[in-house]
Amino acid sequence: MIKQYLILFIFFLFISGCAQKISTVDYIYPDWKTRLDQQTQWQVQGKMAFISTKQRQSANLNWQHDERNSDMVLTSFIGTRILSLQQNPQGAVLEYDGDTYTDQNASRLLYRLTGFSIPLDNAAKWLKGTAQNEQASFDEQGRLKTLLWQAENGQQWHITYANYRKQDGYWLPEKLTLKNQHIRIKIQLNDWQLH
């Protein structure tokens, strides 16, 4: 008899735990964009593809960011590290092909060694979808749809946001594409962790 009550008690605990998790998934903060913009610590995992007229490369992406540091790691689909790019106020350090390189500008360093360009200055704003300027367009929920982004080196990027997900009270980008006259970068963000 006690065994049956114990089984029922565990079952109800499990059901109530599931109900609590389900009920918190569907809310969005009224000021979600401001809150998300203020989130300085985050980690995201996904995939990144670089597509140009000369070549096409893709990799798994792991990107960690806090107030002072940004650490982006690209790995192959079998888990081999392709490169690691660390950025802080003192400059950037890139580990690539067994060697370590430094530069004041992370985007310039990445382009110099790999031939691939990506606007890494203030990347947290366009990656999280919180950037705003006169060329930005938004959907009915206030989510960024398109953005014309000017990088510090003067390059202009057209960024398109194809999909968002609800998580922890925010709309978080899942799929976005960056384009300039030389390259297209497709990014799929599968796992966001906000701290």
Average pLDDT over residues 11-38: 69
- Which of 18-32, 47-61, 145-159 is least confident? 18-32
3-state secondary structure 6-44: HHHHHHHHHHHHHHHHHHCCCCECCCHHHHHHHCCCEEE
Average pLDDT over residues 71-94: 95
Average pLDDT over residues 33-38: 95
- Average pLDDT score over the chain: 88
pLDDT exceeds cutoff 80 at 6: no
Alpha-carbon distance values, 140 to 97, 99, 146, 147, 153 (Å): 45, 47, 13, 16, 33
pLDDT of 3 reads 54
pLDDT of 173 reads 98
How many Å apart are CA 137 and CA 172, to the nearest integer? 16
pLDDT of 189 reads 98
Centre a 10 Å sphere on the Cβ of residue 138 and count the other Cβ atoms it contains: 15
> For residues 181 and 1, which has the higher predicted lDDT (pLDDT)?
181
* CATH classification code of 2-194: 2.50.20.10
Alpha-carbon distance values, 87 to 7, 35, 110 (Å): 53, 24, 11
pLDDT exceeds cutoff 80 at 157: yes
User: Which positions ≥6 away from 76 have C-beta within 8 Å?
Assistant: 59, 60, 82
Average pLDDT over residues 11-21: 49
Average pLDDT over residues 102-113: 92
State if pTM tops 0.85.
no
Cβ atoms of residues 66 and 125 within 8 Å? no
Q: What is the DSSP string of 78-135?
A: TS-EEEEEEEETTEEEEEETTEEEEES-HHHHHHHHHS-----TTHHHHHHT----TT
Domain spans in the chain, listed from the N-terminal domain onward? 2-194
pLDDT over 90 percentage in the chain: 72
What size, in residues, is the chain?
Answer: 195
pLDDT of 23 reads 41
Q: Where does the pLDDT of residue 2 fall: very low under 50, low under 70, confident under 90, or very high at 90 and above?
A: low
Phi, psi of 122 (to 5 degrees): 55, 35
Q: Where does the pLDDT of residue 21 fall: very low under 50, low under 70, confident under 90, or very high at 90 and above?
A: very low
How many Å apart are CA 6 and CA 8, to the nearest integer? 5
How many Å apart are CA 91 and CA 22, to the nearest integer? 43
